[in-house]
Structure 1
């Protein structure tokens, strides 16, 4: 698993001071007439002229080296290694160079790169956190999109918590990792999993979207909308869950270190981490919200069973996790770490809905309208209570939209 990605002592002190002295900015409150409308709390599409530095109102640039991981790069300031490309991307470039006689923990630095964070400018507490990126390739490359607890300056690492949304090491071109670190499960003891592209594809060959859906006592990781793990306090062996608080975002491209190993003769420089966008979105209730319909009853996962194929039904609202749904910016509606799914990719009237692993497929895409319809665009049909029956346990399905009460839903 991932090694801790801590700052060298001088950088750690500077960042800690900034965190202690700054006012945390929490998730923006949704200003929407309909509950459940996705609210954007942070967004950067990296629009601007080629060569420009990142928006300093959103990001700060860290400088220096990192002895803790034995990384080889020196992180430079300004736009030296992190610049817009004029086409809506941030490009973080790692180079084999030392233009200013930078000194690293091992002597004269051999590489430069960049690391930026939102500390003191933006923190998130829950929501859908994602970045669309194309990673570099080559032995020794270590790109990452991750978060640290905003109380880092007060409690230190790993008590602050660390959420690694995406890490890739160059010797695994087809695999990325998602990991949490905290007290008792840090460094090589971090808890997480990997996601591997099929058929030997490499992440460096194109853009991919890396995300977490983060709620109280739950973090779910996905790549391109496909969920590959969920972590809860039950995974920690009795250790403390330190993720129900504000975190700030970090993007960086490290060179070398304990985990990826150093570059070798096969590594081509420069290498680039190309970031298309970063966003944090949240619904009105980051913990998930009920979806209420006919007779004031709720959309419910039968028996709170998270197994694939579990029926989704109408049931008296009871506030359990089986009735806590999040409406994602990717068009999914999720509960218990899985997606609301039209069985068998059906498009016909009467196709039932169920819970299933999130696949990114069109049968898991939904549009929530201001008119309180929940529509599957592929079928162009509405989420519907079968036979207009308000009894507990009535199966939900898709049906041609009629405007009837059995197709009207309130999210939140």
Structure 2
């Protein structure tokens, strides 16, 4: 298995991480009401669900336009349906319902080892909502009530061949000898770089209430060195990186946030009489602090980490490329290109392996560019490595001089990022640029 370098605190901010904002309306984590941790709300992945419709700038409903991210259409016999997502009474509600007339996929789900011939998608539809931006590290809090039937109500994250399950609740399993699941907080880490996504850590514990009986607050603090789980403000579980082991701690990259409902047929499948039921979510709030992210300094980490886990510029390119504090759009540092006496060969700067964790679909890359008045630089090139994708060259010839300008490009990724996906920025001799200086800052990739 290929392992990424261990990433310490304050290394580089994850690509596509939005700027942080102060806690909305003075709201702080339930476990830190005075905000002693210096938490700042990440608006792009937090929601009170008090609008008439779901904010599709923040959230993707699985199945929209026929698109199923991570190629996951649901767990048979149920399939995700966009019709099962609604905002009502200030809550996000994900419905599970008896829906035999739905246009089910003809695929056979072979993920359940207890069903050697696989399972058909039929009769039942559920729902999934996914954040449009990934997050790496922070404090993740949700107030919710699980669906009261034999379906899951889950809060989890996935990306870059990793899965982190905050919880997978089963509100009322049809197999009644499993009644203990009604009060079980089950959390896991999975490594999807290996066939079947083996579990590298898991833990189950009993809490003091049935998860479908009422609203409760659940939270995860995700740190480079530990995971802490909370229920109604009380610490109920902690596991460290050392306890999981380096091979099993696959959660160092940005992950997308999911809330969804599925059938787990090994716990029993709901009948027509059990449905419909709703998984109800009052809010999702995600905070970060200086220990979790350098997001305030930049959307991609030009702010060098203490151990140098930063952009890589090969020695032979450093006449022309450097990360410098000479000028920046935000924070203290930016990538500088100097033409010098002219460019004989292509020069390239690389982000660390695993920087980009991109699902299939349409995305927009943006960056801020500053060029000197004497710059005749014509084009700049950006490439994603795994799978390989060369974006169209950015034409800089018409940009105003001596000011920061945002340039953007929309592109489509047909496959999810591999575990060593990264971004490279290049300049070719044919791109022009015999004189002058360019600065590049605030790179961002956002799912559309």
Band of TM-score, shorter chain: 0.5 to 0.7
Hey, what does 1:285 align to over in structure 2?
A: 291
Alpha-carbon distance in 1 for matches of 2:195, 2:285? 28
Q: Residue 46 of structure 2: SS of its match in structure 1?
A: strand
Find out whether 1:148 has 2:151 as its counterpart: no
Mean CA deviation greater in 202-211 or 185-194? 185-194
Is 1:75 equivalent to 2:62 in the alignment?
Answer: no
Q: With structure 2 as the length reference, what TM-score do the two structures score?
A: 0.49
- Number of paired residues? 243
- Equivalent residue runs for 1:4-403 within 5 Å: 24-26=15-17, 28-29=19-20, 36-41=37-42, 42-49=45-52, 52=53, 54-63=54-63, 70-77=75-82, 80-85=83-88, 87-104=89-106, 105=108, 106-107=119-120, 109-118=122-131, 121-138=132-149, 140-149=150-159, 151=160, 160-169=161-170, 170-171=172-173, 172-182=181-191, 189-198=199-208, 201-237=209-245, 239-258=247-266, 260-264=267-271, 268-286=274-292
Q: Secondary structure at the match of 2:262?
A: strand
The answer to whether the 8 A contact 2:93-2:279 is kept is yes
Q: Kindly indicate whether the alpha-carbon contact (under 8 Å) linking 2:138 and 2:289 is maintained by their aligned counterparts in 1.
A: yes
SS of residue matched to 1:255: coil
Gaps of 5+ in 2: 1-13, 24-34, 109-118, 174-180, 295-448
Per-residue displacement from partner, 1:131-180 (whole Å, max 9, x unpaired)? 11100122x3111110012x3xxxxxxxx211101111233111121111
Q: Is the 8 A contact 1:166 1:178 kept in 2?
A: yes
Question: Could you list the per-position Cα deviations for residues 89-125 of structure 1 after superposition, in whole angstroms to 9, with x for gaps in the alignment?
Answer: 011110011333323534462111111111xx21111
Rate the CA distance shift 1:69–1:102 in 2: closer, same or farther, 3 A.
Answer: closer
Offset at residue 247 of structure 1 (A): 0.8
The alpha carbon displacement at 1:187 in A equals 5.2
Distance 1:35 1:107 in 2: 51
> How far apart are residue 205 of structure 1 and its match?
0.9
Please say if residues 256 and 263 of structure 1, whose CA atoms lie closer than 8 Å, have aligned partners that are also in contact: no
Q: Which has the higher contact order (CA 8 A, sep 6+)?
A: 2
Q: Is the 8 A contact 1:101 1:108 kept in 2?
A: no
Query: Contact between 1:130 and 1:212, CA under 8 Å: does it hold in 2?
Result: yes
- Contact 2:200–2:248, Cα closer than 8 Å, also in 1: no
For residues 31 and 189 of structure 1, the distance between their equivalents in structure 2, rounded to whole angstroms, comes to 36
3-state SS of paired residue (2:242): helix
Hey, what's the Cα distance between the residues in 2 that align with 1:215 and 1:74? 33
Q: Assess, with a 3 A threshold, how the Cα gap between structure 1 residues 192 and 44 changes in structure 2: closer, same or farther.
A: same
Structure 1: stretches of 5+ with no match in the other structure: 1-22, 152-159, 289-412
CA distance in 2, matches of 1:185, 1:193: 22
